[in-house]
Amino acid sequence: MDPMLNIAIRAARAAGDLIVRYVDRVDTLKISPKSRNDFVSEVDRQAEQEILQILRKAYPGHVFLGEESGWQGGVGNEYVWVIDPLDGTTNFLHGFPQFAVSIALLYRGVPEAGVIYDPMRQDLFTAKRGGGATLNNRRIRVTKLNGLTGALLGTGIPFKDQTHLDAYLGMLKALIRDTAGIRRAGSAALDLAYVAAGRLDGFWELGLQKWDIAAGVLLIKEAGGIVTDLAGGDGYMESGNVLTASPRLHECMLEAIRPHLTEALRGRPG
């Protein structure tokens, strides 16, 4: 196995073990608000430090971007580790078992390796650029649906920044009409991993961060899927607006949401 991917797996498992130890002790945790409708616990911080300790020991000259600690490490290094130590913190704090550790390695801004680990189910999703994607060491592929009929989609409802809520609700209405259903489970990293593994046929969300999507984007691409922004462009890492599915379903999703895109969501000034 690629040594960088192996280190990421080790770090993700270590963080996951720490998270699981606190699952039944959430009431003892110190919890702080980060922003409107957004919280951080001491488990988020401890898990991130566990990951950083392992990655720094292996690659002390690399750069690190963590959700809780921000930018750290060597200036100018082309390797950047992007870390979400607990994606789905609100789920974790409520005992809702849908959360994950997400770690990605970017080389010159392009995802090179990615790991998403669900510590409750012990599902390990991994990807290496050019090397395919796996779930628990088994190769995975996106589904082959040609249209929205019968599709199971994932999404995330805008709950922090509701600037584009009306546009989002229009997209939701357009996509729900012909599908088998839409799921909002609360962990974008796992939603993306589920698309790669064929558990979801497609996914879209607005306003995500790099640490939410970096590993999942690589998983989907290596599993044969398409990832774009809401207008079909490649600006999703900057905008955080993501739409992904198998190639033909992706086209259908784009067509369905197009009438509901504002100029801002198209990447143009409003």
pLDDT of residue 27: 75
For 152-260, CATH gives 3.40.190.80
Q: Report whether 218 belongs to an annotated binding site.
A: no
Q: Report whether 84 belongs to an annotated binding site.
A: yes
Q: Report whether 234 belongs to an annotated binding site.
A: no
Mean of the per-residue pLDDT values of the chain: 92
Ranges in the chain annotated CATH 3.30.540.10: 3-139
Distance CA 259, CA 194 (A): 27
pLDDT of residue 169: 95
**3-state SS class at 82:** strand
DSSP string spanning 128-147? ETTTEEEETTEE-------S
For 3-139, CATH gives 3.30.540.10
Single pTM value for the model: 0.94
Percent of the chain's residues with pLDDT above 70: 94
Q: Report whether 208 belongs to an annotated binding site.
A: no
Percent of the chain's residues with pLDDT above 90: 80
Q: Report whether 178 belongs to an annotated binding site.
A: no
Residue ranges in the chain whose pLDDT is less than 70? 1, 30-40, 267-270
pLDDT of residue 269: 40
Three-point CA angle 28, 31, 32, nearest 5°: 160
pLDDT of residue 39: 53
